[in-house]
A and B are shown apart, each in its own frame.
Chain A
Amino acid sequence: MITAQPRHLRRRYDVVVVGGGPAGLEAAVAAQNAGAAQVLVVDREPEAGGILQQCIHTGFGLHRFGAELTGPEYAQRLVAQALVQGVDIVADACVLDVDEQRRVKLMTTASGIATVDAGAVVLAMGARERTRAAARIPGTRPAGIFTAGLAQRLVNLYGLMPGRRAAILGSGDIGLIMARRLVLEGVEVAGVFELMPHANGLNRNIVQCLHDFAIPLYLSTTVVEIHGRERLEKVTVAPVDSTLQPQLAQAWEVPCDTLLLSIGLIPENELSEQLRLRIDPATRGPVVASTMECSRDGVFACGNVVHIHDLVDFVSAEAMLAGTCAGRFATAAPAPADNVRLLSGENVRYCVPHTISTEREHTVYLRTLRPLESCELRLVEAEGNVLYTKRLRYVFPAEMVTLKLRPAILQKFHGGTLRVDLVPRAFPEQGDAAEPSFPLSAPDKRPGGEP
């Protein structure tokens, strides 16, 4: 892949993007399209593209490119697009600090530490994987315990196997994908163990990664102990009850030399914390306005650093918005302020962005706390008036709900706080036609929840 390193860093860039994964690349191009002439992307890896480079499976790009691509293909399209547009990409580099005047201190292999001024900064650092300590698995500390992403990197980029017989904790998509990957590479997979009563990954991956290869999936089951002195020898697994407490009397042992952890991602927010950005405890990413601007002027964020996305296509969409707004901020007047604060209400784990405007159109991403069928999404005013409802066939924690909000929907609302609820439908059996219509609710024909 072409990764032209800029020969010299400029003293000033209109927009500096931290992170050269899909979010960063997409934001950079969008910033340029929005009028930013000089855009720099800083990436720590030897090449841009981010985690997509190790996601060699297909399933990316149906929304963004109308084609089903592998991760490297998606990445290559984004890198090519950025380079064609004249975005500077500096790889093998690291942003050390961003100060209040948006002076970005970065370290490159070519010239050491340099400081560049940025008209706007876009944070696109992605996420890291939850580790063994986060799952608090007791036992020994042998070799052979890998996060699924690290194993994916070793297998797909280095051609190295993490072991000969693996157990996988967590049914997130990376874990499922790795189960198939390992089997295809001749590694035995003893099973996938999921704490929750439902799988976390897409059904497509349950079928194509587990069913196709007869890999057992144990729901409501978790790893309770790790054994082995030097190298992992076995894990003890146990079913959990409805409060997720392991039932040790029913535990059994799974011999394996490898344990992959696919137990979730956490926004990589070292820099956001250094910048003292406001962090949402639910997303663990920065609080963002409808422009994807954070709590500090001219600092924008997008992608998994804000909240964990299901699909890279959604990352692209969010990053285009962030990049566009960052580009405008750097070159023209900043966007008018938001006048609506979104509050996560019943069953809602989080909403992003955290604020919106009654004047503009928005896509709001939210996640449910628990699965619901025949439900509806409600926007509720402080006094309890339901401003808007949208029927949804179902919501699942593993699937982000997207809500398109047009100014028409909010025209009678004059700002303040709107609560977002996900609630079971009042009369689910009566069919759509008989559904009572709420005042101000705008018809939305799109089937709910569908990406």
Chain B
Amino acid sequence: MRYDVLIIGGGIVGCALARELSRYRLRVVLCEQEAEVGFGTSKANSGILHGGHHASLGTLKGELEWAGNQLWDVLAVELGFGVRRVGELTVAQQAEQLSVLDTLLHHARVRQIPGVERWSAAQVQAAEPALASTVLAALYAPTTGVVNPYEACYALAANAVRNGVELRTLAPVQQLDLQEEGWVVTLPQARLVSRFVVNAAGLWADRVAELAGVRTFSIHPRKGEEYLLDKRLQGLVRHVIFPCPSPLSKGILIIPTYDGTLMVGPTAEAVEDRADLSTSAAGARSVFAAVRQLVPGISEKDLIAQFAGVRAPADGEDFVIGPTARRGFLNAAGIQSPGLTAAPAIARLLADLLCEEGLALVPRQEFVAVEPPRIRFAALSPVEQVELTRQNPRYRRIVCRCEQVTEGEVLDAVEQGATTLDGIKFRTRAGMGRCQGGFCTARCLELLARARQLPLTALTKRGPGSWLVCDRPDPTASDFEKAGRP
């Protein structure tokens, strides 16, 4: 069997593309090297849907940022995940930064982004009383939103699979050969043949391009550390707060995440090792020092979790999207911020490009755009909670106390494809709260083991090598002898 399109990489771009292509009569396969989709750069994303005015004019990423931004509401409704348009404030604390606000406002005007406006210090204080009084002015953008990036990945992938896309996890591409019948893609478990290959391999995109014989760019991994704060601070800051950006990064932000908790970060540090997901004492110091400048009321004491992700910028800092010198091999690489925002637009662009390259896009009549709503006990109204638990005993037992996640939600997550503890955590929030899994880990493992019919010792945190528990040493013959019998 020959596939029409093989997508390498199940991050937000690969998942969005898989879902976009599932609208058409195509045989599509999505290959992800990790145990689950979204486990690479995407899961550590800040979760901001950028307002559309940050990226410079004349860049591809600038164009796709605004285009993508406008596609998220429909996606969220169709696929049943949440997007909240919380709005953003880019704040200037020094006089020389005021011109940066003007530049951003100019971007917004040119792109015709509605509602972006300059706020005075007084307006800022009225809207965000917790912000430092040193804020001189800000640029307000109502178009900025927040989303759970991993949730978006899962939802897109799940809908793609419902519409016939084949998902292969733990499937790193080892070899790419262009032959008569198309691209022969070697995975550890199989050799697949596909007419088109889309390289959405994120941090590994330059290596994949090299396998295809068209390494025209390099990835320059850049690490970002993020710090998640206790929900006690919920509501302290309501908009996404940006300092005025520097050329290298958007700076240290304060993000009211989709779940309502505050997150601060990310750092921006060039790293050699693409798999370097370590946080550092220096990173924490720099983040909290920067954050205190913006919101003096935030301190390290409120920290509940820290993590890092590695961005995948290519040379030139713009997205690398399009066909290559090798027939049928397309890149979707160098996707750094605002990559999450742009992802739905990138998917559409890639579909158009594939079409230009000769792929016929014939709509499938039976395409199911809408996913059945997923149950999230904690998000239901009291009346809905009563109704749900009256009808369905599966949701009557709380597994995660901190985030009020029920057993039914954990089982749903497993049915929707969670194979790891992190997979359950990212789908349900079980273990993401204050106690960081102290109480629910054992129960989640039990449920996962039972549903997958595996021993607990076979379960992992996030895939091979990340085993969680092991068996006690077996008794020896002499133990039996020594124990004696009752």
Within 8 Å by CB, do A and B touch in the complex? yes
User: A-facing mask of B379-414, CB < 8 A → 1, else 0?
Assistant: 000100110011001001110011010000000000
Q: Which of A116-132 contact B (CB under 8 A)?
A: 128-129, 131-132
Determine whether A62 belongs to the interface, using a CB cutoff of 8 Å to chain B. no
Please, which residues of chain B bring their CB within 8 A of the CB of A244?
Answer: none
* B-contact bits for A101-124, CB 8 A (1 contact / 0 none): 000010111101100000000000
Which of B386, B442, B464 is the one whose CB lies under 8 Å from A113? Answer: B386
A-B pairs with beta carbons under 8 A, tally: 131
Smallest distance from the beta carbon of A333 to chain B beta carbons, Å? 34
Question: Any chain A CB within 8 A of the CB of B134?
Answer: no
CB-contacts of A82-96 with B (<8 A) = 92, 94, 96
Q: Is the pair A141, B277 in contact by a Cβ cutoff of 8 Å?
A: yes
Q: Is B94 an interface residue (CB 8 A)?
A: no
Q: A interface, how many residues as a size bin?
A: 35 or more
- The interface of chain B, by Cβ under 8 A from chain A, is 228, 232, 275, 277-281, 283-284, 300, 303-307, 382, 385-386, 389-390, 393, 396-398, 401-402, 404, 434-439, 441-442, 456-457, 460-473
Q: Is the interface of A mostly helix, strand, loop or mixed?
A: mixed
Apart from the given pairs A112-B390, A138-B284, A143-B466, 7 other A-B contacts in the complex at a CB distance below 8 Å: A143-B468, A154-B469, A160-B457, A160-B470, A161-B470, A163-B469, A229-B465
Asked if A433 is at the interface of the complex by the 8 Å CB criterion, the answer is no
Q: Are A161 and B397 in contact (CB under 8 A)?
A: no
Asked if A185 lies at the interface with its beta carbon under 8 angstroms from chain B, I say yes
Q: Which residues of A contact B438 (CB under 8 A)?
A: 128-129, 131, 147, 149-150
Cα separation A141 to B404 with both chains bound (whole Å)? 24
Shortest C-beta distance, B308 to chain A (Å), equals 8
Shortest CB-to-CB span from A96 to chain B, Å, is 8
Task: Name the residue of chain B whose CB is nearest to the CB of A226.
Answer: B278
5 contacts between A and B (CB under 8 A): A44-B398, A109-B393, A131-B438, A138-B279, A150-B437
Query: In the assembly, what is the distance between CA of A94 and CA of B439, in Å?
Result: 14
B472 touches A185 (CB 8 A): yes
A161 touches B401 (CB 8 A): no
Chain A residues near B464: list those with CB within 8 A. Answer: 230
User: A154 with B467: in contact, given A112-B396, A131-B304, A136-B300 (CB under 8 Å)?
Assistant: no
The yes or no answer to A142 lying at the interface (CB within 8 A) is: yes
CB–CB B456/A229 < 8 A? no
Residue of A nearest to B385 (CB): A113
Known: A131-B304, A138-B306. A112 touches B471 (CB 8 A): no
| A112 and B303 contacting across the interface, CB-CB below 8 Å | no
- Least Cβ–Cβ distance between A269 and chain B, in angstroms: 10
Which residues of A line the B interface, CB within 8 A?
A: 44, 92, 94, 96-97, 105, 107-110, 112-113, 128-129, 131-134, 136, 138-144, 147, 149-150, 153-154, 157-164, 185-186, 224-227, 229-231, 268, 270, 273
Given A128-B434, A128-B438, A158-B456, CB of A107 within 8 Å of CB of B396: yes
Chain A nearest CB: distance from B280 CB in Å?
A: 5
A103-B300 Cα distance, complex, nearest whole Å: 37
Contacts of A112 in B (CB 8 A): 386, 389-390, 393, 396
Of chain A, the residue at the smallest CB distance from B461 is A143
B43 CB → nearest A CB, Å: 11
Among A136, A186, A231, A268, contact of B466 (Cβ-Cβ < 8 Å): A231
In contact, B460 and A143 (Cβ under 8 angstroms): yes
Q: Which residues of A contact B306 (CB under 8 A)?
A: 133, 136, 138
Q: Given the complex of chains A and B, what is the CA–CA distance between A185 and B475 in angstroms?
A: 11
Q: Which residues of A contact B470 (CB under 8 A)?
A: 160-161, 163-164
Chain A residue nearest to B304 in the complex (CB): A133
